[in-house]
């Protein structure tokens, strides 16, 4: 199989919820800057208020605004892929973190967010599956959630239903199957800070598929 065939096979397994995650053969470690984390700290807002979550906050480096952390439909837009997303002022406050995404093999992004989970906070069990359109989506042509760990305390656990606990370490990068039910519990005294981007591969298809194929081989999935 070539790289694109491998990628399509893996993404089909994602759609069928047969895989909980894929660790990508890349690292965020060299882009972690604690001065940048301090610079953006005052911009966090509660994320998905009113749902079963505690201490979950977010702010956008790329979005419809720094504090507009939800999908574009929540702000009156119809088409997520063509909503007027842009690099916010936080991109200048966090240039190293932003550089990672600008070098990532994707044509464009919708949301790129810092995500913070407070000590003793939790993200309640949920999934992010577009149930009304999933069968008709080629995930390689849609949006893929890329999740980078900046801080991940030892006693913070992310669990994917039927697949177990994601083996996070600071600097690791995962394609997480958010179509599955998942939850996060921060049982530590420290913040858990990640970045999550919704990536549209577009004209970077060849480079993205090479990354996925390399990651699949490294992890021994196929």
Q: Which one, of 160, 152, 148, lies nearest residue 187 by Cα?
A: 152
pLDDT recorded at residue 127? 83
What's the start-to-end Cα distance of the chain, in Å?
11
pTM of the predicted model over 0.75:
yes
Instruction: Determine the pLDDT at residue 139.
Output: 86
How far is Cα 79 from Cα 42, in angstroms, rounded to an integer?
30
102 contact partners, CB below 8 Å, separation of at least 6: none
Q: 136-141 long-range CB contacts below 8 Å, 24 or more apart?
A: 137/15, 138/8, 138/11, 139/11, 139/14, 139/15, 140/4, 140/7, 140/8, 140/11, 140/201, 140/205, 140/208, 140/209, 141/201
Distance CA 21, CA 138 (A): 18
pLDDT at 27: 98
Q: What is the pLDDT at residue 135?
A: 66
**Neighbour tally for 162: CB within 10 Å:** 10
**Tens digit of each residue's pLDDT, the chain (222 residues):** 899 999 999 999 998 889 999 999 999 999 999 999 999 999 999 998 778 899 999 999 999 999 999 999 999 999 999 999 999 999 999 999 999 999 999 999 999 999 999 999 999 998 887 655 556 778 899 999 999 999 999 999 999 999 999 999 999 999 999 988 999 999 999 999 999 999 999 999 999 999 999 999 999 887
């Amino acid at each position: 199989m070539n790289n694109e065939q491998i990628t399509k096979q893996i993404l089909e397994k994602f759609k069928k919820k047969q895989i909980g995650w894929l660790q990508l053969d890349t690292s965020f470690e060299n882009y972690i800057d604690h001065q940048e984390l301090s610079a953006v700290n005052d911009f966090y807002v509660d994320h998905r208020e009113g749902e079963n979550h505690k201490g979950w906050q977010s702010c956008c480096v790329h979005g419809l605004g720094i504090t507009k952390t939800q999908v574009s439909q929540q702000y009156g837009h119809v088409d997520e892929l063509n909503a007027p997303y842009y690099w916010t002022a936080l991109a200048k406050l966090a240039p190293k973190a932003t550089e990672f995404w600008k070098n990532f093999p994707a044509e464009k992004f919708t949301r790129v967010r810092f995500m913070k989970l407070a000590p003793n906070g939790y993200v309640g069990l949920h999934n992010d599956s577009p149930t009304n359109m999933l069968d008709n989506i080629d995930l390689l042509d849609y949006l893929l959630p890329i999740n980078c760990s900046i801080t991940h305390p030892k006693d913070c656990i992310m669990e994917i239903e039927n697949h177990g606990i994601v083996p996070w370490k600071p600097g690791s990068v995962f394609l997480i199957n958010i179509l599955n039910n998942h939850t996060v519990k921060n049982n530590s005294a420290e913040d858990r800070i990640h970045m999550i981007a919704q990536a549209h591969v577009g004209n970077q298809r060849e480079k993205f598929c090479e990354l996925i194929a390399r990651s699949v081989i490294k992890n021994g999935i196929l």
